[in-house]
Amino acid sequence: MPTAIKPHRRRSQPVGMTYQFLPEVKKYTTKMAASGETMLKKPHVGKKRKPPTRYWEGTEENGKNDGKKQKEGDNNKQTPQQNKKRTKEGGKRGGAGEKILSGKSDPFPGSAPVPEEKLKKFKRGEKGELPPRPQYKLRDVVVRSEAASDLAQKQNARYDLMLPEDAGFLEGDEDEDTCTISQDDIADAVDITAGAKYFNLTLSQFGPYRLDYSKTGRHLLLGGRRGHVTCLDWQSKQLMCEMNVMETVNDVKWLHSEALFAVAQKKWLYIYDNKGIELHCIRKFNDVLRMQFLPYHFLLATASATGFLQYLDVSVGKEVVAICTKAGRLDVMAHNPHNAIIHLGHSNGTVTLWTPNQREPLVKMLCHQGGVRSVAVDKTGTYMVTSGMDKKLKVYDIRSYRPLQSYFLPAGASCLSLSQRGLLSAATGDIVQVYRDVWGTPVTKPYMAHRAKGSVWGVHFCPFEDVLGVGHGEGFTSMVVPGAGEPNFDGLDANPYRSAKQRQEWEVKALLEKIQPELIGLDPSQLSQVDHSTWEQRHEDRVQALGFDPLAKEKFTPRLKTKGRSSSGKVEKRKKQVAHEDQRDVIRQTVEDRMKIDKERKEKEKKEAAAAGQKSALDRFRK
Amino acid sequence: MCVKWTTVVPCCVFCLIQGGSDDERKHCKLLEAIKHCAPMTPSALIKTKKQLKNLQHNQSTLETPLTRKETERIQREVAFEKTSKEVSRWQSVVLQNQKAEQLVFPLNQEPSGPKRIEQVVAGWKAQTPLEQEIFSLLRMNKQPLHDPVLTPTEEASLRAMSLEEAKIRRAELQKARVLQSYYEAKAKRERKIKSKKYHRVQKKVMRKEYLKQFDEMVKTDPAAALEELKKMELSRMKERMSLKHQNSGKWAKSKAIMAKYDDGARKAMQKQLEVNKDLTLKLVIPADEDEEDEEESAETLPDFVNDAEHILDQVNPWMRGKLSTDPMVQEESNRLDPPVVRPRELGTPGEGRDDQEEDEEQMEETEEEALLRGFEERRKLQISDDNEEAVEISDDEEAVEISDDEAGLSKFTSLFHGLVNNHMEPPADQPKAGPGVGQGESPALLEEGLVRVRTLEDVELLSQDVSASDPAPLTTTQTPGTEETDTQSATQQADKKRKRKKMIDPNEVLTKEAKVIKMPLAPTAVEDVEGKEEQRVIIKEAFAGDDVISDFLKDKRKQEEAGRPKVIDLTLPGWGEWGGLGLQPSRSKRKRFRVKVAPPPPRQDQKLPNIIISEKRDSSIAAHQVCQLPFPFENPTQFERTIRSPVGRTWNTQNTVQKITAPKVVTQLGAIIEPIAREYLIKDNRQAVTGPSINLESDQGPQKKRRSQQKKKHKRKKN
């Protein structure tokens, strides 16, 4: 069963694993990711990724494109002419008008061309028409902004060549499924550091484990059902803390950094630091079953057994909102990383989408005929994968809410997780399966499969690593899944190699850039749109927000007067007086308005009459 | 005039008085003169009189001067006009500054840092007479003044040559150079060959060739032939003077010794003598003179022979061809007269000779051939095999244009890639074919895409699925083709129904066909068949009560109802008609007082049966949104477009951010900013220079600039 693992991953830094094969294992062949290497056809995925383009290829491609265009036109003879034109243009761009004495003249005048595809990638919205010339101020503003956005787009496209890494996957030989390759084989085949990422933690005592990786992917948090909570730096296997909370643990979650984590225990929600010291016990959050952390909003969203969806602002420690979903026990939860919307799965087969700003679900989707068992959302916010009691696995496009694929899994998936690169892991019983490209081509076989020692309780892909963490009845398993993680990390956002100082700095910056919960919505770009609502609508909103109408007239309450002047008759009289007064005001106002209108009309008539008064000689013939 | 006259008269009188009696005569003369004058003066007199009268008649008084207020007003008006005229000259400058992206203060700042040479040079002028002289000389000769490298003509010529041409030219030059080196190398090598036989053979061959050519030349170019003849004559004369071919040399002596016993030696000697005879014999007829001297041949013939060299430059197409076939070089060689040595050519004699000679010749030729072949083979041994192959390939494609060659090359590489791919494909392809029918159909399934919805599904979908799963999991996937027509018709029917009822059919919800996934490992929990059946029963029981779909549809309907605006009924019973218990207001009245509301816009989830989208407005974000358009904008889309791309460092490169967020006004720290001076205006009118504009690198940039410059020009004209 010779296999070829094809690791198409190269990192500028030694992140994670690079699959270098030991010389004695001859049945494996390496095909390292070279720049120009043509990819093999993959058995599972129809899509063929192009090899990463280098900057020297970019221009060539351009040239090719030009050639194609010419062929489309008429003759191949035009090539030199076209070239000349291009060079001329280039000269213009570079400002060939001013001659440079010092130094050599530039053999390639002008800026280097940027490939179209990349420009497309960084395109932000459509260009509009320029306003007419007389409105020169508006025109100036528009022109300037267009130029700026053009520049930004071009520069971004130009700098994009820094990240040419591509994902590589396991590839089987003839008549061999990749899903039959065991983890041990992979661990044997790959180099030591990568092989060390496959490991098992035997923790059979405290029952099935939930897990969570920190945002940078360095730290692992494990929570056993029977109270065992531990966090560790999983790559160096350094234990940060370990404790037993002596209570049922429903879920565990890292907060914004690896310094804090939340544990949903039997009754309340607790927050610990990485030494295991209990910092908070939040009594407002009871019976929490599942938690999600929204990193850019510093919000911890919890779903409870009582049907409440609550948001906790971690930066200030206040509850933002508590929403009664009226949908029973909430034990299925996911969040959309694109727009920070919480997805809840319900026992009636529906999945609901929530923001902290609305008391009712934004969208309610009927996904399964049985209850929903698990939900996962793609990193780009495009796809949602659900699995239900009807043993089906469904893929939805959550921009249009349309089903894309539906699969029947023999035992149904209990836990789902999507990796940064779009691999889907589904746990059925004690088996963890990983699928590739579930939304594109219909999948009939898993990409990888692994049998855990106990029934699986939680799966989670590690960010920026080719690792899938599986929490099960007998402890924890870290699986190697080639092609799962994103090879390019943003050093200012989630840097796996950051130092303590960098972390502190990042924390401050992240807090400064915190997004307010009011900005959560289905469309994250809504903020850049003009509010089209009418004045009435806005007033209504204001009234609702304030709880009273600030423009409403105060109701007259007659003053209490002594000496029999506050008798009911008198009071009534006074009231009427005031009412009359008000009415008179209104009448006066209307009369004035009417008079004004009349006056205007009369003036207009007068003018017309005056205009008519200038009789011409021909007016006598007019009838 | 009148005054003048009056003054004259008393003077005369005075003269008269002074003159006394003795000047009587003079007096008379004067009177006469006056009388003479009299007919001339009356018109002037009358005129003056008239004027005097006029003065007397004109009695009107002078006008009173204007009041202070009025004069001041007039003065103000004039002053205003003047100053406004002066101030309006600033208008363009002010407008420019308003429009400018960036203003740098203090004005007229020179950019810090080192200047470029051309900037310095441009400002410099020739001052001393020597410098002026030099420059005038340079100018006269059209030599470059600023750019020290190229003259205008050179530049023009450079510009005239396109890239293609330059490439071709370079390739040519390269080839010529390489050829030269080849020839040199070859000549060196051949000079080193010590074998006399080889040289002899070579010479003979050359001679023959030469003769052939000469014959041709006689036909084509008699003048040149005549010259050749002269040369030959000269060589003959030299031969006669020397002692060559007289059997007096070392070789001849040895041969003479051997001649007794050796037939070959004898023959050789005879031949030598014959040659001598030929040479020394003076003949008038040029046709008879067929042999020539070695020395002469050594002069005329270059000491190398054309042959392909096997060092090859793959990239340069010019280097691929064999020398012999290159037309240009051939011409050259013809001029130089080096015949191509080829054994095949040697085998075709075309001379008018005796049969005997011919026979001899042929004999010898075979010998020569063998010899030459031997040499060639020896040489070839030195050259590696790869190169030889390359030569063969290149032989076919010689003398082709560069582009074609390149295309060919790319074609070849693509072919090669194709081959590689073919080699690599099978391992990737075969697993695809392996698993069976279900996978084979997958591309077809892909094409069907999103919209495939099965309408008529069994009521108990769940149970069916379960049953389908255990015996033949592929059945559902295998029948897309046959089912499709049915499903289409069914959907059409369903559409009709929908139109009729305008309600969602519960069967239409959740109808995406599921693909069965084969698992390599069966989960331990659900392994045994009995367990499955049991579970099926359990599931059936569990979902017997709740009909998920109909519940959902009910919910949806409710939401729709709630979203619909309500009809307001304002009928008051008893107004205008009898009221009381059991009496309903009349229908017409009810109709009249019912306020109908405009139907709401269609719901977002109108066409999605299994989705409920909330129609509530999310007002929380409205507080952060722009609700009033800022000044120059006229509609929201314009504004939205201008803020569509982010400005921050998170989304842009450092350089871009700096350019985009450049400040509107830049001031130098500690510098005194003085008001704009009049000189600036004058300068501005002359040069139209403002502060440095931030040049955003874009396609519109230069155009914009040009346009603004044009504007400035217009303004200047106006001013």
Residue A238 has which token pair? 């350094």
Average pLDDT, chain A: 83
Among A377, A353, A355, A335, CA closest to B611: A353
Nearest to B642 among A4, A141, A348 (CB): A141
More confident residue, A41 or B318: B318
Give dist(CA B620, CA B622) in Å, integer. Answer: 5
pLDDT digits (tens, 9 = 90+) for A263-320: 999 999 999 999 999 999 999 999 999 999 999 999 999 999 999 999 999 999 999 9
Give dist(CA B176, CA B182) in Å, integer. Answer: 10
Residue A287 has which token pair? 């019976």
More confident residue, A34 or A175: A175
Query: Cβ contacts (< 8 Å) between A349 and chain B: which residues?
Result: 548, 552
Query: Cβ contacts (< 8 Å) between A31 and chain B: which residues?
Result: none
Residues A235-244 have a mean pLDDT of: 94
Q: What is the pLDDT of residue B679?
A: 78
**For A10-19, A395-404, A407-416, B129-138, which range has the lowest pLDDT when averaged over its residues?**
A10-19
**CB-based contact A544 B619, cutoff 8 Å:** yes
Share of chain B above pLDDT 90, in %: 12
More confident residue, A612 or A395: A395
Q: What is the pLDDT of residue A161?
A: 72
Q: Is the pLDDT of residue A202 over 70?
A: yes
Residues B357-376 have a mean pLDDT of: 56
Residues A463-484 have a mean pLDDT of: 94
**CB-based contact A369 B548, cutoff 8 Å:** yes
Q: What is the pLDDT of residue B375?
A: 58
Q: Is the pLDDT of residue B706 over 50?
A: no
pLDDT digits (tens, 9 = 90+) for B659-692: 999 999 999 888 888 888 887 777 655 544 444 4
Q: What is the pLDDT of residue B466?
A: 37
What dihedral angle (degrees, nearest 10) is formed by the CA atoms of A605, A606, A607, A609? 90
Q: Is the pLDDT of residue B401 over 50?
A: no
**CB-based contact B659 A531, cutoff 8 Å:** no
Give dist(CA A553, CA B603) in Å, integer. Answer: 37
Give dist(CA A392, CA A416) in Å, integer. Answer: 12
**CB-based contact B622 A446, cutoff 8 Å:** no
Residue A251 backbone dihedrals phi, psi, to 5 degrees: -160, 155
**What count of CB pairs under 8 Å joins A to B?**
342
More confident residue, A207 or A342: A342
Q: Which residues contact A133 (CB under 8 A, 6 or more apart)?
A: A139
Q: What is the pLDDT of residue B259?
A: 81
Give dist(CA A330, CA A325) in Å, integer. Answer: 9
Give dist(CA A334, CA A396) in Å, integer. Answer: 14
Query: Cβ contacts (< 8 Å) between A360 and chain B: which residues?
Result: 614, 616
pLDDT digits (tens, 9 = 90+) for B622-631: 888 988 889 8
Q: Is the pLDDT of residue B157 over 90?
A: no
- Nearest chain A Cα distance for residue B632, angstroms: 5
Among A183, A177, A122, CA closest to A154: A122
Q: Is the pLDDT of residue A477 over 60?
A: yes
Q: In which band, very low, low, confident or very high, does the pLDDT at B543 lie, cut at 50, 70 and 90?
A: low
Q: In which band, very low, low, confident or very high, does the pLDDT at A69 lie, cut at 50, 70 and 90?
A: very low
Residue A26 Cα to chain centre, angstroms: 43
Range of B95-99, B407-411, B464-468 with top mean pLDDT: B95-99
- Nearest chain A Cα distance for residue B518, angstroms: 6
More confident residue, B116 or A240: A240
The complex scores an ipTM of 0.74
Query: Cβ contacts (< 8 Å) between A3 and chain B: which residues?
Result: none
pLDDT digits (tens, 9 = 90+) for B475-528: 333 333 434 444 444 445 545 444 444 555 655 666 566 777 776 666 554 444
pLDDT digits (tens, 9 = 90+) for B431-469: 333 333 333 333 333 333 333 333 334 333 433 333 333
The per-residue DSSP string of A35-87 comes to SSPPPPPPSS----PPPPPPHHHHHHHHHHHHHHHHHHHS-STTHHHHHHHHH
Nearest to A406 among B515, B612, B636 (CB): B515
Q: In which band, very low, low, confident or very high, does the pLDDT at B696 lie, cut at 50, 70 and 90?
A: low
Backbone angle region of A372, left / alpha / beta, with phi > 0 → left and psi within -120 to 50 → alpha = beta
Share of chain A above pLDDT 70, in %: 82
pLDDT digits (tens, 9 = 90+) for B118-130: 677 766 777 888 9
Query: Cβ contacts (< 8 Å) between B642 and chain A: which residues?
Result: 141-142, 145
- Nearest chain A Cα distance for residue B551, angstroms: 9
Q: What is the pLDDT of residue A221?
A: 96
Q: Is the pLDDT of residue B408 over 50?
A: no
Residue found by looking up tokens 């974000």 in the block: B621
Query: Which residue from B minimizes the CA distance to A444?
Result: B517
Q: Which residues contact A450 (CB under 8 A, 6 or more apart)?
A: A182, A183, A431, A432, A433, A470, A477, A479
**CB-based contact A124 B473, cutoff 8 Å:** no
Q: Is the pLDDT of residue A91 over 50?
A: no
- Nearest chain A Cα distance for residue B523, angstroms: 6
Omega before B65 cis (within 30°)? no
Q: What is the pLDDT of residue B276?
A: 77
Query: Cβ contacts (< 8 Å) between B653 and chain A: which residues?
Result: 152, 155-156, 159
Judged on CB neighbours under 10 Å (0-12, 13-18, 19+), A343 is: buried
**For A99-113, A119-133, B387-401, which range has the lowest pLDDT when averaged over its residues?**
B387-401
For an interface test with A, give the residue of B95, B420, B618 to mutate (most A CBs within 10 A): B618
How far the first Cα of chain A sits from its last, in Å, is 107
Residue A23 has which token pair? 């010389």
Give dist(CA A396, CA A379) in Å, integer. Answer: 14
Query: Which residue from B minimizes the CA distance to A110?
Result: B697
Q: What is the pLDDT of residue A609?
A: 85
Average pLDDT, chain B: 67
Query: In terms of C-beta distances under 8 Å and separation of at least 24 residues, what long-range contacts does B542-549 make, across chains too?
Result: B543/A369, B543/A370, B543/B462, B546/A348, B547/B506, B548/A348, B548/A349, B548/A366, B548/A368, B548/A369, B548/A370, B549/A366, B549/A369, B549/B506, B549/B509, B549/B510
Give dist(CA B666, CA B105) in Å, integer. Answer: 6
Contact criterion met (CB below 8 Å) for A415 and A427: yes
Judged on CB neighbours under 10 Å (0-12, 13-18, 19+), A373 is: buried
Half-sphere exposure (CA, 13 Å, Cβ side) for A552? Answer: 12
Nearest to B638 among A131, A358, A403 (CB): A131
Strand partners, A290: A303
More confident residue, A124 or B151: A124
Give dist(CA A546, CA B108) in Å, integer. Answer: 56
Q: Is the pLDDT of residue B208 over 70?
A: yes
Taking the CA atoms of chain B, what radius of gyration do you get in angstroms? 59
Query: Cβ contacts (< 8 Å) between B123 and chain A: which residues?
Result: none
More confident residue, B281 or A90: B281
Q: Is the pLDDT of residue B169 over 50?
A: yes
Residues A217-246 have a mean pLDDT of: 95
Contact criterion met (CB below 8 Å) for B345 and B427: no
**CB-based contact B552 A348, cutoff 8 Å:** yes
Residue A134 has which token pair? 């007389």
- Surface of A (99-158) touching B: CB under 8 A: 99-102, 111, 124-128, 131, 135-138, 140-156
Nearest to B435 among A391, A445, A545 (CB): A445
**For A199-203, A310-314, B158-162, which range has the lowest pLDDT when averaged over its residues?**
B158-162
Give dist(CA B112, CA B118) in Å, integer. Answer: 16
Q: What is the pLDDT of residue A125?
A: 86
Q: Is the pLDDT of residue B710 over 90?
A: no
Contact criterion met (CB below 8 Å) for B341 and B372: yes
Q: What is the pLDDT of residue B265?
A: 86
Give dist(CA B162, CA B606) in Å, integer. Answer: 64
More confident residue, B302 or B417: B417
**For A313-317, A495-499, B455-459, B611-615, which range has the lowest pLDDT when averaged over its residues?**
B455-459
Q: What is the pLDDT of residue B600?
A: 87
More confident residue, B618 or A377: A377
Q: In which band, very low, low, confident or very high, does the pLDDT at A412 lie, cut at 50, 70 and 90?
A: confident
Q: Does A350 touch chain B (CB under 8 A)?
A: yes
Residue B616 backbone dihedrals phi, psi, to 5 degrees: -70, 145
**For A233-242, A322-331, B114-123, which range has the lowest pLDDT when averaged over its residues?**
B114-123
The per-residue DSSP string of B635-681 comes to SHHHHHHHTSS--STTTS-HHHHHHHT--SEEE-TT---PPPPHHHH
Give dist(CA B663, CA A529) in Å, integer. Answer: 25
Q: Does A3 touch chain B (CB under 8 A)?
A: no
Share of chain B above pLDDT 70, in %: 52
Q: Does A201 touch chain B (CB under 8 A)?
A: no
Specify the DSSP element, H or E, that contains A120.
helix A116-121
